[in-house]
Amino acid sequence: MNQFFAEFFGTAMIIVLGGGVVANVLLSKTKGHNSGWIVITFGWAVGVFTGVLIAAPVSGAHLNPAVTIALVIAHKFSPSLIPLYFSAQLLGAMFGAGLVWLAYKKHFDITPEAASKLAVFCTSPNIRSYWHNLITEIIGTYVLSLAVLYMAEPEVGLGALNALPVAIVVLGIGLSLGGPTGYAINPARDLGPRIMHYFLPIPGKGDSDWKYSWVPIVGPFAGAVLAALMYMLFTP
């Protein structure tokens, strides 16, 4: 497996398990229906753990364009690989979202709430205030990126990460900072599945909320840049 497919399948695994747990909690007549936010945050953390476990030996397991940018700014990763990693992450997220739809297709068909269907694919705020939502995403991704920068293992060559510490950080972000926006903290994780929501034949799905879509892209990138600058400022 090469770097592209490591990032592709690693990111896909995050979405399969992360989007899958949201589907299990929100869609009608699932075994996990209404099991709550704690279940969702653990599902996403396990998705990150699994994705990193798969991809780390080959690609360094960025699985997130914001993490890639943070590592580039901190001189831990080559900027020449940005197009390869970004494309793999976005396509992997789209593929993972498609698998979630296949797994839960019958439940999508009978769920009446368009918002619940959209939430399986991408984030939206509970209180819509774009600048405050943006700040939340910046803070969440700042925490993630700073942790990643201190966890990166230079001897691997691509900033590879240990799966469990990253998963625990993502779990903490979800529990502590996920309430306002649903903690995208990853542009590919939100944009890729949102694109799939737009194209998939889901009955009564409503629109894909493109008016909000810039927040979980700009916020994570800004948070990653701030984290990288802080890391460089205080790390010898």
Question: What is the DSSP secondary-structure string of 101-118?
Answer: HHHTHHHHHH---HHHHH
Per-residue pLDDT tens over the stretch 112-126:
999 999 999 999 999
Which residues of the chain carry a pLDDT beneath 50? 155-160
Q: Are 189 and 110 in contact (CB under 8 A)?
A: no
CA angle 62-47-73, nearest 5°? Answer: 15
Query: How many Å apart are CA 224 and CA 213, to the nearest integer?
Result: 18
Tokens of 149: 């920068």
Architecture of the domain delimited by 3-234: Up-down Bundle (1.20)
Q: Are 225 and 142 in contact (CB under 8 A)?
A: no
Query: How many Å apart are CA 73 and CA 70, to the nearest integer?
Result: 5
Q: In this predicted structure, what is the pLDDT of residue 236?
A: 73
pTM for the structure as a whole: 0.95
The gap between the terminal CA atoms of the chain, to the nearest Å, is 35
